[in-house]
Amino acid sequence: MAEQKIDMFKLVEEVEKQKSVDLDEIFNDLDLVKNSKTVEREYRNESKSAKAEDVNLVSKPIIPNNIGVYDTRFEAFKSIIEHVSYGTDNMNSYVEGHRNALEKYYRDAYSNSKDLYVIEARVNDEINKSGSHADLYEKGYYDGLVYVMKALKRSKELLMSKINDKIKAAL
């Protein structure tokens, strides 16, 4: 039997040609998907998504700097949650989801006003368990959870600052 000699250079050239063909096909497929509107229509759930002009009217709420008078951490948290502004009167799915998250944990905080660490743990667990945010309601609900977590942390910071100021004044 005669041994067949393999030309390594030709083998490498063939492999490189195959790789470039595959990459070209992938980029062509990506361009087709990018230019196609059907993917966008399939991704969006029309019953829960809002019109583009409605989405632009809603601004993501931010934690206010001045929350008023408070003596406890719960009062600070309550003031932050009660003064949420969405920047519009139009009700869309994002705002609905955001408000539902705030209302849920506001009620929980009201029933556990002495121990907000319990609420922090619940919110943190729900944030970690949340999946995809395919529609505006789910995105709003997730952003509401994040807002609640920030409000809880801010209330803790405000109370610590207030205690610190009292200690400084006493010294």
CB 25 within 8 A of CB 55: no
For residue 159, the tally of other CB atoms under 10 A from its CB is 19
CA distance 63 to 9: 64
Q: Which of 84, 111, 89 minimizes the C-alpha distance to 100?
A: 84
pLDDT at residue 120 in the model: 92
User: Is pTM beyond 0.75 here?
Assistant: no
Q: How many helices (H) and strands (E) does the chain have?
A: 7, 0
For residue 161, the tally of other CB atoms under 10 A from its CB is 10
pLDDT at residue 71 in the model: 83
pLDDT at residue 60 in the model: 76
Alpha helices in 36-135 (DSSP H): 38-43, 52-57, 73-82, 93-111, 116-129
pLDDT at residue 62 in the model: 79
Structure tokens given for 41: 């229509």
pLDDT at residue 133 in the model: 77
Query: With a cut of 50, which residues of the chain have pLDDT below it?
Result: 1, 37-56
Rg (CA), the chain: 27
CA distance 136 to 70: 34
pLDDT at residue 45 in the model: 42
SS3 content of the chain, % helix, strand, coil (to 5): 70, 0, 30
For residue 152, the tally of other CB atoms under 10 A from its CB is 23
